[in-house]
């Protein structure tokens, strides 16, 4: 999979993609991430990428020309399955969405900034809009990092144990059950006996029951 990211703050994305699972995914050749500085596509003085909004009001707007230049030049080299705009008013990212996007070949992400992008870009170039929650960030870079991480870990071969992702929270619309590791007892706190029984059927039943109870307590909306 290849993911290209257009941003006015490329430095914000250096660390998230240089460590842990995403670093290994790139080293294995399973995921290619290219970050593009939007200012490199500006034809204006001082590489300007924003301007005042028509109608007045506080905040600047990302201009059409630099963004469209970047999108079209990248599209001339790569065919993208989706051109995704990270924005607070997009569809909220969830596990099924991440699952779906992990099956794509090439994605182009556009990080919002300032008051957002000229609406005409959204109308004519964006195919998908994604939010990571009902709050506002300084820009779409952190949201892009979250999205890439959620997608990248699902690519076959990225995780050491590929079945691990199948049992993550939200994969079956339930939160994950409690997990335990050694020691079996610490300060009198014991691991549930069923997990030490070796009876895989009982263990799976216990985990499912725990997942249901945890979801009912913490996220009952998922059960609807």
For the chain, what percent of residues have pLDDT higher than 90? 92
Considering only CA atoms, which of 17, 47, 53 is closest in space to residue 35?
A: 17
- Is 78 a residue whose pLDDT tops 80? yes
What pLDDT score does 165 carry?
Answer: 64
Residue 3 β-bridge partners: 33, 107
Distance CA(125)–CA(62), nearest Å, equals 14
**What are the distances in angstroms from CA 157 to CA 46, 103, 172?**
43, 13, 21
- Is 163 a residue whose pLDDT tops 60? no
Tokens 């499912």 correspond to 208
Distance CA(147)–CA(54), nearest Å, equals 31
Considering only CA atoms, which of 39, 149, 49, 43 is closest in space to residue 93?
A: 149
Other beta carbons within 10 angstroms of residue 154's beta carbon come to 22
Considering only CA atoms, which of 104, 99, 90, 100 is closest in space to residue 143?
A: 90
What is the 8-class DSSP label of residue 112? -
Record the pTM.
0.90
Q: Which helix (H) or strand (E) holds 5?
A: strand 2-7
Q: For residues 146-160, give the mean pLDDT.
A: 94
The answer to whether 98 and 154 are in contact (CB under 8 A) is: yes
Tokens of 180: 């335990």
What pLDDT score does 172 carry?
Answer: 80
Tokens of 215: 């979801």
The answer to whether 157 and 3 are in contact (CB under 8 A) is: no
The answer to whether 23 and 153 are in contact (CB under 8 A) is: no
**Interval 101-119: pLDDT, tens:** 999 999 999 999 989 999 9
Distance CA(145)–CA(13), nearest Å, equals 7
Looking at every residue in the chain, the average pLDDT score rounds to 94
């Amino acid at each position: 999979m290849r993911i290209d990211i257009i941003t006015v703050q490329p430095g914000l994305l250096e660390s998230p993609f240089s460590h842990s699972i995403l670093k290994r995914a790139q080293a294995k050749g399973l995921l290619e991430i290219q970050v593009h500085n939007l200012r490199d596509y500006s034809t204006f003085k001082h590489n300007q990428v924003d301007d005042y909004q028509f109608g007045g009001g506080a905040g600047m707007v990302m201009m059409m020309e630099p963004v469209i230049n970047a999108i079209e030049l990248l599209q001339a080299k790569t065919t993208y399955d989706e051109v995704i705009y990270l924005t607070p008013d997009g569809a909220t990212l969830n596990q099924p969405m991440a699952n779906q996007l992990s099956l794509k070949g090439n994605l182009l992400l556009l990080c919002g900034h300032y008051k957002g992008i000229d609406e005409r870009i959204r109308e004519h170039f964006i195919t998908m809009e994604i939010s990571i929650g009902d709050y506002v960030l300084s820009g779409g870079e952190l949201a892009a990092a979250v999205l890439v991480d959620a997608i990248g870990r699902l690519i076959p071969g990225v995780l050491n144990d590929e079945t691990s992702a199948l049992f993550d929270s939200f994969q079956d619309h339930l939160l994950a059950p409690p997990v335990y590791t050694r020691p079996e007892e610490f300060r009198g706190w014991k691991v549930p006996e069923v997990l030490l029984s070796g009876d895989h059927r009982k263990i799976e039943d216990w985990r499912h029951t725990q997942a249901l109870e945890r979801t009912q307590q913490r996220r009952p909306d998922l059960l609807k």
